[in-house]
Amino acid sequence: MPGPLVNTSTGFSIGVADTTLMTKAEDFYKNLVGMKAQSSANSEKILVSEDDKFSLTLKLSKDALSPAEVDGLKSKMETSYKNADWRSLASHISLKTANLNTLVQSFRANGFPVQLFPNELYPTEAYTFDPVGNLIGFTCGQNAMTLKPKATKLEKPEVFQLPPGALSVSPSQSAPIPEGQAKRNIAVMTSGGDAPGMNACVRAVVRAAIYKGCNAFAVMEGYEGLVRGGPEYIKKMAWQDVEGYLTDGGTNIGTARCMAFRERAGRLKGCKHMIDAGIDALIVCGGDGSLTGADLFRAEWPSLIQDLKESGDITPEQYERHKHLNICGTVGSIDNDMATTDATIGAYSSLDRICKAIDYIDATANSHSRAFVVEVMGRHCGWLALMAGIACNADYILIPEKPSSSKDWKEQMCEIVGKHRSSGKRKTIVIVAEGAITNDLEHISAKEVKDVLVDRLGLDTRVTTLGHVQRGGTAVAFDRVLATLQGVEAVNAILESTPDTPSPLIGIEENQIVRLPLVEAVRITKSVADAIEKKDFDGAMALRDADFTEHLNNFMAINTAIHEKPTLPLEKRKRIAIINVGAPAGGMNSAIYSMATYCMSRGHTPYAIHNGFSGLARHESVRSIDWLNIQGWTSMGGSEVGTNRATPEETDLGMIAYYFEKYQFDGLILVGGFEAFTSLHQLERARAMYPSFRIPMVLIPATISNNVPGTDYSLGSDTCLNSLMDYCDIVKQSASATRNRAFIIEVQGGNSGYIATFASLACGALASYVPEEGIDLAQLELDVEALKKEFSTSENLSKSGKLILKSTNASKSLTTQVLADIMKLEGDHEFDTKTAIPGHVQQGGLPSPIDRTRASRFAVKAVQFIENTFETINSSRNSFDFSNESPELSETAAVLGVNRSHLKFTSIRQLYDYETEHGRRMPKKISWLKTRTVCDQLVGRVKLQS
């Protein structure tokens, strides 16, 4: 038979206890596996494959399993043959073979029991134990797979100590459990107030822990469950126990306030119950109070466990095994009040509820020319009120971080609202955080705000208190993805921690999952409330993240567009144009609104170029932007100024240059996808010929495909992801009701699989096919077998339906319908398949809060870029020897993007020449590909490696 391949390695070694076992092992690998002897000695034998590509060394070792231990292991495995997956009980090496069936028959004929996967009818993997007690796997797939951590005394060189793969968008890599280390028992709990997305975090922790070869536990009812203990409150979790968690709001494992845990006696009980359950690591998803309790628990652990040992409540063996406790935190809080991280689990879901409510209120306010005072949550943090104010174009907000005297806030609010009304605005929205205060720490109620608007301005005013509606409902796509990636990274952090490692907090910076010092994050968070209590409001603002201050400054600048004097002197004011290019995307209108109002506050004149470059060249479609006409644009989908895909060279470059000169534009902001990227390149290249293009130009990426080079995130992709997620949830419900049906859903995105990948992660799809990978027939066969297994087991009675996502361009031959037909045919009537094509529904209706607020931030940054770079290029505006090759001048035409944990401008020249795959309209480096590993691992998909 052909020689096997072992993960493309050159060799491996196996320790053997004595010469009798050495002979048995040599016969096994020579006569059954098909290797040949290269050298033979009493203490070491070397075997090689038939093609001489790798070798196996058998050598005597005092650490190897004794004959008695080998017999005991074999007896245990033979007993568990029908009811346990051997791969979960022992480590294994995987080998490749060309004829799996022949090999299996040979093993069984010689008395070696074999487990086949995914099933006996169509096996692609086979596992048996060699004569010295090692689990050996064989596959006829494209690659051998080594997935489980070591549990036996198998001796292997470093080449075999491979991690299962990167499990998050963070730079940290997961690592196997070190040699000799016991299997970890990792528990997860949710504590404090519930938040949408907590269930996604629990699911990720449980499945990532099981995938890593650990035992997973859930502590029910938060710290209350730790104090009460027992199997009712500390439950061992199986893979299927968290099926369907993604679509559930709240937390399925419960949460409760626990006064007992605040006392040492309660923590002592918790320590005892954790040791009884064998738990040695705890992942806590909660707010600052819950994480403070977790870190205190770890700090006291040595003394707690010592007390239990001295009192005889635990054995010396338990004491030695549980001397150290690892803690890791993920933040679940709708207030987004944890310092050092950009977002907490549940915050954007809560913001989504608020924005939808205000959008509804906005319509009736406009109808009756009313004022509405909306109270939102945020006892010590005004993030929800601030971001809702930006996303919904509120007239005024009141937050605890920036109070004024009881007289000043009333006068300021009435002045702003009064001027907005006198300018023709029919509606008024004031957003009040529940923790809003004056600088004397006096609480400001929504009723008080209403009374001021009624008494001083005579407005017909209503109060709406959203209350716990803000906590309810399923999580938005962002929170599902965030919670999932943080849960997986929390397991990585636990496995990589030592007794001396400080407790980490898993957070996010821009677009990057990161590990942060838990103690420091909690300390800074609590310092904000302390600073407010001491009336040190500047100190409180300084302790907030820089993004919070930036958003607040942007809101105040945008909100003062027509009732404050411009902040720039006359000679520094510019004429700035904005244009949409490409397909419409959520956030385009928000970007135009924020750009225009920020320009007005600075003294610039904003222009909108309608209907893209073709509209400009054919119809001179340039209009100055009027403040009143753009009211409400932040919550509108599509593009109010119109857009198309035509680039300057496809229309009339000379005519475009003529109109740029006619209107004397001093800067240009492009909002769009790859067509906008190409347009910026063409304009920058044409600077040598057309002086009117020698102005600062900046691109704000906006496309559902998220395929613009220079950024990890584009406006519109979050809106698209939410729309697609909602669509998939509905289809999944239909699939679960039918029981034996799977849906193949076609996903847009051009040559980018971004949307398909993250929708798969947010919806728990069993597989996703993307253009970056294509559709491999061997992989398709494995996926069909996995589907058959899913539908043939009793777990299929669960409420979770089965979905498979396919990007439109994943394969030209295997269309969505063809794919569904193949799966149905190959499924041997085990299941039915249907197709679902959401089409342009994926572009979304109303833009998501993330796209609204990021559009606002990007627009302000873009205007500031034009202000900061104008002088650099203006000095060369009329130069006869203008050079496109000047690095300094090329920096004035840039793409504004999110790059890992930073927001940065990158020159179009650098991106277009070196970082773009033009034929596929894609960046050369794709930041999110590692996330696909998480998608596959958390649904148990067997993936062939390329």
614 assigned ligand-binding residue: no
Indicate if the alpha-carbon torsion angle 785, 791, 796, 799 is positive or negative: positive
As a whole number of angstroms, the distance between CA 787 and CA 820 comes to 12
370 assigned ligand-binding residue: yes
As a whole number of angstroms, the distance between CA 911 and CA 895 comes to 8
> How many residues are listed for the chain in this entry?
946
480's tokens: 């599902």
470 assigned ligand-binding residue: yes
Q: How far out from the chain centre does Cα 426 lie?
A: 40
328 assigned ligand-binding residue: no
Nearest to residue 304, comparing CAs of 262, 278, 277, 266?
266
133 assigned ligand-binding residue: no
748 assigned ligand-binding residue: yes
288 assigned ligand-binding residue: yes
864 assigned ligand-binding residue: no
932 assigned ligand-binding residue: no
As a whole number of angstroms, the distance between CA 503 and CA 402 comes to 32
What torsion, rounded to 10 degrees, do the Cα atoms 276, 282, 288, 293 define?
30
333 assigned ligand-binding residue: yes
Nearest to residue 219, comparing CAs of 254, 189, 248?
189
223-249 in b/e burial notation, b at 16+ Cβ within 10 A? Answer: bbbbbbbeeebbbbbebebbbbbbbbb
840 assigned ligand-binding residue: yes
539 assigned ligand-binding residue: no
588 assigned ligand-binding residue: no
582 assigned ligand-binding residue: no
Within a 13 Å sphere around the CA of 808, how many CA atoms are in the beta-carbon half?
A: 13
**What are phi and psi for residue 590, nearest 5 degrees?**
-65, -40
468 assigned ligand-binding residue: yes
Nearest to residue 96, comparing CAs of 152, 57, 51?
51
591's tokens: 């970007």
779 assigned ligand-binding residue: no
User: Any idea which residue has 């060189």 for tokens?
Assistant: 157
Question: How would DSSP label each residue in 268-299?
Answer: HHHHHHHHHHT--EEEEEE-HHHHHHHHHHHH
342 tagged catalytic: no
Q: How many helices (H) and strands (E) does the chain have?
A: 28, 32
As a whole number of angstroms, the distance between CA 714 and CA 752 comes to 12
401-422 in b/e burial notation, b at 16+ Cβ within 10 A? Answer: bbbeeeeebbeebbebbbebbe
707 assigned ligand-binding residue: yes
379 assigned ligand-binding residue: yes
Residue 305 and residue 271 in contact, taking contact as beta carbons nearer than 8 Å: yes
378 assigned ligand-binding residue: yes
434 assigned ligand-binding residue: yes
Question: How would DSSP label each residue in 22-77?
Answer: HHHHHHIIIIII--EEEEE-SSEEEEE-TTSS-EEEEEE-TTSPPHHHHHHHHHHH
Within a 13 Å sphere around the CA of 624, how many CA atoms are in the beta-carbon half?
A: 10
161 assigned ligand-binding residue: no
197 assigned ligand-binding residue: no
267 assigned ligand-binding residue: no
User: Any idea which residue has 């006291």 for tokens?
Assistant: 300
491 assigned ligand-binding residue: no
393 assigned ligand-binding residue: no
As a whole number of angstroms, the distance between CA 392 and CA 371 comes to 14
645 assigned ligand-binding residue: yes
List the catalytic residue out of 280, 295, 335, 362.
335
706 assigned ligand-binding residue: yes
Sequence ranges of the binding site for beta-D-fructose 2,6-bisphosphate: 645, 703-707, 741, 748-750, 834, 840-843, 921
State the catalytic residues.
Answer: 335
Sequence ranges of the binding site for ATP: 193, 257-258, 287-290
Sequence ranges of the binding site for substrate: 333-335, 370, 377-379, 434, 462, 468-471
Sequence ranges of the binding site for Mg(2+): 288
Sequence ranges of the binding site: 193, 257-258, 287-290, 333-335, 370, 377-379, 434, 462, 468-471, 645, 703-707, 741, 748-750, 834, 840-843, 921
